[in-house]
């Protein structure tokens, strides 16, 4: 976080109108930094970044490559994949914390960022549990029950989730009456991460992110 304690969001998105649209949506609450390709994203990110919004398909380096380098560097910030690429079983091995399919709604982005910021103080075990659940939720939105049942990779993911859940349960005794911890586990069990189902908060939700003129009009109205 920067000196004025405004959370820093790095937007890595090669379509400038889309990146600037995210900046318009988020700028009132966060400090937003923009990167227009994968290489620039890696040059821009540092320990002051609190959340990354990462496009999966970018020039120079893909979002998947950028994510891998972020994790290799040990930069411990949540990463949200915001992409038009529908999730396939390859996402199981990606280390993202949330997966949003384009075009997102403003409130969806805001809610996801807020949830991730709230979880930054959680234990490593719970953080990993959240990440695994995000991958599970992403696949459940695109795959049929038959496809999921027939995937060894997905079945292995379920086993990893249960292992992390068991580890989290063991930690409960050490954490006493940590209501926030217990609530986080229950929230994930009740609703897969990312599927908020919330209504749009305001007229910005109706803006198409590939329509640069729409953002210009929105700025003029303010």
Residue 164 sits in a domain whose CATH number is 3.40.50.2300
> Is the residue at 25 inside a domain?
yes
Supply the pLDDT for residue 172.
57
Q: What would the two tokens of residue 132 be? A: 């695994």
- 74 domain-assigned: yes
Determine what percent of the chain is predicted with pLDDT higher than 70: 75
pLDDT at 181: 45
pLDDT at 122: 83
User: Does residue 125 lie in a domain region?
Assistant: yes
* Domain assignment of residue 1, yes or no: no
Position 5 confidence tier, pLDDT thresholds 50, 70, 90? confident
Where residue 168 falls among pLDDT bands split at 50, 70, 90?
confident
Whether residue 161 lies inside any domain: the answer is: yes
Please report whether residue 160 resides in a domain: yes
Pairing between strand 8-12 and 31-35? parallel
- Could you report the per-residue pLDDT of 175-221, keeping only the tens digit for each? 444 444 444 444 545 554 444 333 433 443 444 455 444 444 445 55
Q: What is the pLDDT of residue 123?
A: 82
Strands 8-12 and 51-54: parallel
Its domain, for residue 28, covers 8-221
- Taking CA atoms, 181 is separated from 23, 145, 171, in Å, by 31, 30, 10
Global pTM reads 0.75
Taking 50 as the threshold, does the pLDDT of residue 64 lie above it? Answer: yes
Rounded Cα distance between 130 and 193, Å, is 8
Mean pLDDT of the chain: 81
Residue 150's pLDDT is 96
Using pLDDT thresholds of 50, 70 and 90, give the confidence band for residue 149.
very high
DSSP 8-class letter at 89: G
User: Does any domain span residue 18?
Assistant: yes
Q: Please check whether residue 162 lies inside any domain of the structure.
A: yes
**What is the count of structural domains for the chain?**
1
Higher pLDDT, 124 or 112: 112
Lowest-confidence segment of 32-41, 119-128, 196-205, 213-222 by average pLDDT = 196-205
């Amino acid at each position: 976080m920067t000196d004025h304690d405004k959370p820093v969001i790095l937007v890595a998105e090669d379509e400038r109108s889309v990146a600037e649209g995210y900046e318009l949506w988020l700028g009132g609450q966060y400090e937003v930094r923009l990167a227009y390709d994968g290489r620039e994203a890696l040059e821009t990110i540092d320990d002051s970044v609190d959340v990354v919004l990462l496009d999966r398909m970018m020039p120079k380096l893909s979002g998947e490559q950028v994510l891998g380098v972020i994790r290799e560097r040990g930069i411990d910030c949540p990463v949200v994949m915001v992409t038009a690429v529908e999730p396939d079983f390859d996402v199981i091995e990606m280390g993202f914390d949330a997966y949003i399919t384009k075009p997102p709604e403003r409130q969806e982005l805001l809610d996801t960022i807020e949830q991730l910021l709230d979880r930054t103080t959680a234990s490593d075990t719970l953080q990993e549990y959240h990440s695994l659940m995000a991958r599970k939720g992403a696949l459940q939105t695109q795959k049929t029950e038959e496809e999921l049942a027939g995937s060894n990779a997905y079945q292995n993911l379920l086993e990893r989730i249960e292992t992390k859940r068991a580890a989290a349960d063991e930690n409960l005794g050490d954490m006493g009456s940590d209501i926030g911890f217990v609530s986080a586990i229950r929230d994930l069990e009740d609703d897969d991460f990312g599927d908020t189902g919330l209504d749009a908060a305001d007229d910005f939700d109706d803006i198409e992110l590939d329509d640069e003129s729409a953002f210009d009009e929105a700025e003029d109205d303010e």
